Amino acid sequence: MEKVRYEKIKDELNKHAHQYYVLDAPLIPDSEYDRLMKQLQAIERDHPDWMSEDSPSQRVGGKALKEFMQVQHELPMLSLDNAFTTEDLLAFDQRIKDRLKTVLKSTDDIEYACEPKLDGIAVSLLYIEGILVRGATRGDGKTGEDITANVRTIGSIPLKLRGKGYPGKIEVRGEIYMPKAGFEKLNVQAKKNGEKVFVNPRNAAAGSLRVLDSKITAQRPLEMCCYGIGIVESGKMPAKHAEILAQLGAWGLLINAEMAVKNNIQGCIDYYQQLEKKRHRLAYDIDGIVYKVNDLLLQEKLGFIAKSPRWAIARKFPAQEEMTRVVDVEFQVGRTGAITPVARLEPVFVGGVTVSNATLHNMDEVERLDVRVGDTVIVRRAGDVIPQVAQVVLEKRQGTPRKVKLPTHCPVCASVIERVEGEAVARCTGGLICNAQLKEGIKHFASRRAMDIEGLGDKLVEQMVDEQLIKSVDDLYALGLEQISALERMGDKSAQNLLAALEKSKKTTLARFVYALGIREVGEATAATLANHFGSLQAMMDATEAQFLQVNDVGPVVAHYLLEFFAQEKHRQLIKQLKKSGIQWQEGNSAVANSKPLSGLTYVLTGTLESLGRDEAKDRLQALGAKVAGSVSKNTNVVVAGPGAGSKLAKAEELGIAIYNEEMFLSHLKEKEGH
């Protein structure tokens, strides 16, 4: 019975590995898989003679090798001819028709199997009686390297073929690659550990396959996709290439979901165009399309030339990586104030377009790459992704090229540039006075929870800034009917409504105004807490770091941003101009503010409030001095729960926090407002 149980667990684990790695449709959680694996390993410890090569426990890396052994391919792994244009592809189709004219009618079209050309490493897997016995690299096509220990760690490669009917001996060929998400995660971890990062997913896959310690390979997010077969003995395969791939899929191997069969060469051209548009959205890199005559009998008649089959061709996409020289490095200011170094390049054709600029992301990346003005670099562009510098070609560095330094002041508004310790991004501190940040600053200023300027949408803001009607946020309140109505899609009625909304927004609260200023890390709740604590804007502007730190929920980082914002004369002038425009609110003093009925208390709203909206409830609580938080914690005093309340209500019950329904809450508000 124990042996039967062992085989059952083994089959279960193989089934779930196929569901997870090949079908991307797991049936059980990871914890259950781990539990089954522990049971299997326990049985194998008691019965080591039962352990076989197809046991899921044998995926994990074993002892490190001293070197790779060589493998002779029984059937050479040939390379493919390339087509770079539509004309090349049409010529390929015509050559095939010419060679097959004795077996085809002049009107016959050729049926082609079309597959994305994965940018990875070609490998061969040998299965005997359904068991994986060897994995090898392509090498020079005749001789490769034995990488069996490494390929066994890859989840999408079955250690035992599924189902029945497979040949006694079959060689499966495919591409091992690293998906984009796994590549990014691997490089992020490498950066954290101070290790070398990989230039692209193909290099990462190659490096992961050719390590002598399979435990390292086991930690890498590799996949294998099958594209064909080699030697087949003691068994039959379907008569068409696409049907062979479908059969491999039925036996548990991963095949590409984008594969298609086209009835003629025009279908192949259309397929190329579709995949080229979709390319950058795929989860993996492809560098072209492979076309194969689908009928194996026709393949046999067409035969081979020295290094490639006559019946297949690869249509390449435009190169995604090229070399060029860095002419200069300039700094751009983003809409949120982020300072981005941009390499100015000698123009180069890459990814289908001419590229003369490439992002360097941030100063951490500049330092990691050690890129300097005058360096030769590899530029990468994938689909619609912004071109980026992937690597410096150090062998081509000459003399002493100029190092890149972060400027101290914003190139747009001359405000101080700050790079907070522990953060990669440097930022301009100009905020609303920086033209590069103006559009986003005005959108935030006008938003519903800030100044609530109804009708001033994003597109209208962009139009006004582009037309230079607004050069600063205070210009909003100087706009006239004639200026607004002259804008596209803005008639007199719409212009009058906007002017009325601007006038209405002048009467606000101190909390809303502080939030509208867009001070970094100062959200609604913090703005309300600051307003309640200080009572007046002047008291806030004159506060010291120690005074800011006395405010509930204000730590050293927020205190620093507040001090920095109010210390800049341009910000003080802007506030003066906004108040001069007529913006006003009722001010008190800190003693009055801190004596409000709900001062120092934290409320959380959850579920639906039927007699008043969530925003109105929030405003009324804040007017009474309360802080309104978005999540329940031990610091929460009251949770207001309407119909539909979920996890927040459960958390409140767990922590023993006071819970009000809507009726209790309304009574509570009236009591405190009448205080």
| Inter-residue contact 160 to 131 (CB < 8 Å) | yes
Cα separation, 390 vs 321, whole angstroms? 9
Burial string for 514-527 (b: 16+ CB within 10 Å, else e) reads bbbbbbbebebbbb
Structure-derived torsion over alpha carbons of residues 660, 664, 665, 668, reported in degrees to the nearest 10: -120
| Inter-residue contact 350 to 388 (CB < 8 Å) | no
Q: Which two tokens stand for residue 653?
A: 């019950």
Pairing of strands 121-128, 169-177: antiparallel
Give the H/E segment covering residue 69. none
Task: Give the dihedral sign, CA 426/429/431/435.
Answer: negative
The Cβ of residue 4 has, within 10 Å, a number of other Cβ atoms equal to 8
User: Any residues with CB less than 8 A from the CB of 163 and at least 6 apart, and which?
Assistant: 250, 251, 252
| Inter-residue contact 537 to 555 (CB < 8 Å) | no
Locate the DSSP E strands across 498-613: 602-606
Measured N-to-C along each axis, helices 458-466 and 438-446 cross at an angle, to the nearest 10 degrees, of: 140
Give the H/E segment covering residue 632. none
Angle at 625 between CA 621 and CA 627, to 5 degrees: 65
Which amino acid does the sequence have at 363? Answer: M
Q: Which two tokens stand for residue 103?
A: 């077996």
DSSP string over 514-529: HHHTT-TT--HHHHHH
Q: Which two tokens stand for residue 443?
A: 């959108």
Listed residue (439, 424, 444) closest to 338, CA to CA = 424
Concerning whether 8 is annotated as a catalytic residue, the answer is no
Longest dimension (CA), the chain: 101
Q: Which of 8, 97, 117, 236 is catalytic?
A: 117
Q: Catalytic residues, which ones?
A: 117
